[in-house]
Amino acid sequence: MTIRLNKYLADSGVASRRKAEEYILEGRVTVNNKTIIELAFTVDPEKDIVDFDGEIIKPKRHIYYLMNKPMGAVTTTADDKNRRTVLDYINSKEKVYPIGRLDFNTTGVLFLTNDGDFSYFLTHPKNKVPRVYEAKLDRPLQELDKATLLKGVFINSARGRFEKVSFPKAKDFSLVEVVGLEGRNHFVKNMFGALGYTVISLNRKSYAGVEADIPIGTYRPMSLNEVKEIKKKYGK
């Protein structure tokens, strides 16, 4: 049975299908020693030899981790400033990468995997997978500004909005819990920043309904049932 080349790359843990298409168009993928730039190209996993950047790749057993990201860790696989990355906290024989990003000093729920399809599923806007954040602001959030955040504001020339805005502690209106469906870089900080607020600290409380049930700076394997439940809950 043949499969599309971008899916083969995703199943091999190279990247999501969407990112894999970019790699194909850049000429970084060969099949049987021939460079392929056709997005619709298919391969036979049992017969064809696929190379990415000169290294033979093969589909892998999918693994999934849940991390409670600590402050001071970069959400990348490598850092040109030699800062500690989230992968430095993971002891895995298989190569994994983080799904989406959390800022350097943002804490909380982070998924890591080698399953490109799962990464694509969680991050694609059409699936509307919720992220819940707790933000500590430099001053109390005004009721009018709360309404504006629910209605929507423009950040980086694109409109964004929170699905829900609440206050987890009575009478402390500088501690705000928000629900968003976007994964744009610095989304929460930019939303508040558009109204003149500064986010002092930020924690992602949950992602896709999954909370960090482990100490900060640690991780645990996710079961296949957990992954299936996420897909079932948010799949269309």
* Residue 196 belongs to domain with CATH number: 3.30.70.1560
Same domain, 144 and 199: yes
Contacts (Cβ under 8 Å, ≥6 apart) of 13? 57, 60, 94, 95, 96, 97, 114, 115, 116
Computed over every residue of the chain, the mean pLDDT equals: 94
Rounded CA separation 162/191 (Å): 9
Number of domains in the chain: 3
Residue 93 confidence (pLDDT):
85
Where in the sequence is the domain holding 216, given as residue range(s)? Answer: 64-125+212-234
Q: If you average pLDDT over residues 145-166, what whole number do you get?
A: 96
Give yes or no: 88 in active site: no
- Give the confidence band of 80 by pLDDT, cuts at 50, 70, 90: confident
- Give the confidence band of 174 by pLDDT, cuts at 50, 70, 90: very high
pLDDT at 236 over 80: no
- Give the confidence band of 66 by pLDDT, cuts at 50, 70, 90: very high
Q: Provide the residue count of the chain.
A: 236
Same domain, 119 and 137: no
Q: If you average pLDDT over residues 138-164, what whole number do you get?
A: 96
Residue 230 confidence (pLDDT):
96
**Mean pLDDT comparison of 14-18, 76-80, 176-180, highest-scoring range:** 176-180
Q: Which of 44, 48, 53, 103 is catalytic?
A: 103
- Of the residues 56, 73, 88, which one is the last residue of a structural domain? 56
The alpha-helical segments, DSSP class H, found in the chain are 5-11, 17-25, 116-123, 143-151, 187-193, 224-234
Residue 44: Cβ within 10 Å count: 11
pLDDT at 67 over 80: yes
Residue 61 confidence (pLDDT):
85
Rounded CA separation 3/71 (Å): 40
- Cα torsion through 185, 189, 191, 196, rounded to 10: -140
Same domain, 151 and 201: yes
The domain spanning residue 220 has which CATH number? 3.30.70.580
- Of the residues 35, 56, 77, which one is the last residue of a structural domain? 56
Same domain, 51 and 163: no
Residue 145 confidence (pLDDT):
98
Partners of 111 in beta bridges: 66
**Closest to 211 in 3D by CA, of 177, 160, 163:** 177
